[in-house]
Amino acid sequence: MKKRAVIYNKWLHTLGGGEVVACNLANVLKELGYDVTILCKNRTRLKDIKQILNIELREVSILAIGESESEIKQKVWGAELFFNLTFIDYSSGYAKKNIYYFHFPQKPWETFKRRIYNKYITPVFLRVVNPHVIHFYPKAIGLIHGKPAYDFKSELIIKSSNIDINSMYDLEFSLHLDYFYKVLLEKFNYKINNCEIVYREVKVDYQRNLINFKLTIKADKKNLDLFFNLNNLRQQEEIKHLLGIRLVPHSLKGKILQFLYDVIYSNQNTMIYLNLADRVHSYQKFITHSDYVNKWVKAYWGKKAITIYPPVELLFKKYNIDKTRKVNKIISVGRFFTLGHGKKQEALIKAFKKIYARGFKNWQLHLVGRLGNERSSLVFLEQLKKISKGYPIFFHINVSRKKVEKLLLESRIYWHATGFGENPDKDPVKLEHFGISVVEAISAGCFPIVFKGGGLVEIINLAGFDNDSFFTSIKDLVNKTIKAFKYNHKLKKEIEDNLYKNFSSDVFKSKIQSIL
């Protein structure tokens, strides 16, 4: 019988840097003979992992369990190995050997106010209400008429869970059109499994080119599946987007409880963790992905952790960098969001506009990144687009891994500003914990100019660059970028060797094997 290993990565569906580590770890454990399962919050498709992260997971199970710690315990209990790779998630370890991967540690103590909130208010409330969850497969592309908008080519599948059987819910969504005609509405198909539709209202908003749907449904099961289909239409491009899918309880009491739940969870990014010290002590080994994070693990928890740098796909191993044609592009890769350690795209736009004003109008800025469904991130993107108007600044949202690689290979300079403007002593979590995209960019032949703080310092030093690759102010970023315009952007053999011996997947695999 095979040994069983479980990896917990709650945010797998976001497909960011932490998820790169989780998927590579799964493959390493598979090679070592383990039967591997990845637990996550929302359902995540293997083809999305392949397309966006360029990581193929074979014979690895992925289970979506929401945010239930009891589910984690059930799936982990009796396993030979458990890796917790979720950022600020302190679910206890229930396997024979438990390893905690610190993305960044939380302080082990709490304020009096926070203790009262966590210990009494929230647990009591959560006994009263167990709200539904909607899982979106597509990523929102931004806001249209103030609602999250989703690309809608031919079909769309949306799943929900935690539905109360025999309860009534209101489902609302809109279609964003080029123009409206009656036949189009007749040919548009949607189907909802596991429920009865008891009321349906359709209104056409000619002024904003919207068809607004409002349905009241009665649930037959705990899960609902929504299918939207355009295959019957000859010209599918006439419907541009699906907007603002919203599922809420039909009753007034249900609406009030849902509102209170949203308020509580808007102030709390993780589950409720009491007795943090006991939870951390349930793990036998600790890993961090940079010496910067390791320092704070020691400061907060007094734990000795092992630094293992994340595995990075080095592009000089995949492409002939010397034959790649570079153009006047500055690129930055990072998620568009405002929570936690935001990527500070607003600072980069400000710096680029100053460079443009100094006469360097033949350069472009390309901002690449994932975008979630949360409203704060959608609003943030709209603000960035607004302040970029009129400048050669381009946004690449939720693009494939192949597109990201193409942009990196074309670009001459790479910018990274996470941590800029933050207090490193008061809020060390807001600095970059590592920076996988920086290593990828260097491996593609980009000259890096990054904020001098957090894990970014380690990358630049280990790669072999000097102080010209660090900035501490907008003025500093502008001046060092203009200076870098004159550089010969060739990837040196010495830098290639440095990247391989520190950040390659081979080194990651070797170090994981050594701690097991």
Residue 514 counted as domain residue: no
Choose among 62, 13, 70: nearest CA to 42.
Answer: 13
In a shared domain, residues 292 and 322: no
Of 115-124, 269-278, 419-428, minimum mean pLDDT range: 269-278
Residue 388, helix vs strand vs coil: helix
Number of domains in the chain: 3
Percentage of the chain surpassing pLDDT 90? 45
28-39: average pLDDT = 94
Interatomic CA distance for residues 431 and 486, integer angstroms: 29
Kindly report, residue by residue over 441-460, the tens digit of the pLDDT. 999 999 999 999 999 999 99
Listed range (32-36, 89-93, 231-235, 237-241) with the worst mean pLDDT: 231-235
> What is the pLDDT, as a whole number, of residue 166?
81
Question: 184-188, 214-218, 499-503 — which is least confidently predicted?
Answer: 184-188
Is residue 119 included in any domain, yes or no? Answer: no
223 and 193 housed in the same domain: yes
Q: Judge if 439 and 413 occupy the same domain.
A: yes
259 lies in some domain: yes
Same domain, 159 and 256: yes
Would you say residue 402 lies in a domain? yes
CATH of the domain at 181: 2.60.40
Residue 404 — pLDDT band, cuts 50, 70, 90? very high
- Judged against a pLDDT cut of 60, whether residue 39 lies above it is answered with yes
Is it the case that residue 136 has pLDDT exceeding 60? no
Would you state the pLDDT for residue 349?
Answer: 97
- 43: pLDDT confidence band, cut at 50, 70 and 90? confident
86 pLDDT exceeds 80?
A: yes
Residue 252: pLDDT above 60? yes
The per-residue pLDDT of the chain, averaged, comes to: 85
* Mean pLDDT to the nearest integer, 149-156: 67
Same domain for 324 and 282: no
pLDDT given for residue 270 in this prediction? 43
Looking at residue 267, what is its pLDDT?
45
Q: In this predicted structure, what is the pLDDT of residue 266? A: 47
Round to whole Å and give the CA distance between 390 and 325: 27
Determine the average pLDDT of the residues in 248-276.
64
The H-assigned helical ranges of 449-492 are 456-463, 474-484
Are 184 and 71 part of one and the same domain? Answer: no
Strand partners, 175: 211, 242
475 and 339 in a common domain: yes
Domain membership flag for residue 112:
no
CA dist 311 and 136 (Å) reads 28
Q: 37 and 54: one domain? A: yes
Looking at the structure, tell me whether residues 367 and 477 fall in a common domain: yes
Instruction: Return the percent helix, strand and coil in the chain, to nearest 5.
Output: 35, 25, 35
Average pLDDT over residues 154-176: 76
Q: Which contacts of 303-310 are long-range, i.e. CB under 8 A and separated by 24 or more positions?
A: 305/102, 306/511, 306/515, 308/508, 308/511, 308/512, 308/515, 309/434, 309/502, 309/503, 309/507, 309/508, 310/17, 310/20, 310/21, 310/24, 310/434, 310/436, 310/503, 310/508
Residue 269 to residue 278: CA distance in whole angstroms: 21
* 176, pLDDT greater than 50: yes
Within this chain, do residues 75 and 140 fall inside the same structural domain, yes or no?
no
**How many residues make up the chain in this entry?**
516
pLDDT at residue 305, rounded to an integer: 94
Determine the pLDDT at residue 346: 94
pLDDT tens digits for 316-347? 999 998 888 899 999 999 988 876 678 999 99
Higher pLDDT, residue 298 or 66? 298
Is residue 114 a part of any domain in this protein?
A: no
Same domain, 95 and 62: yes
CATH at residue 27? 3.40.50.2000
Instruction: Please give the structure tokens belonging to residue 475.
Output: 């003025």
Query: Which two structure tokens, joined as six digits, stand for 202?
Result: 């359709």
Confidence of residue 27 (pLDDT cuts 50, 70, 90): very high
| Residue 458 and residue 425 share a domain | yes
Q: Is residue 334 part of a domain?
A: yes
The answer to whether residue 184 scores a pLDDT higher than 90 is no
Give the model's confidence band at 58: pLDDT under 50 very low, under 70 low, under 90 confident, else very high: confident
Asked if residue 454 is part of any domain, the answer here is: yes
pLDDT at position 473? 96
Q: Which of 3 and 263 is assigned the larger pLDDT?
A: 3
Q: Is the pLDDT of residue 294 over 50?
A: yes
pTM comes to 0.80
| Residue 17, domain extent | 3-103+275-308
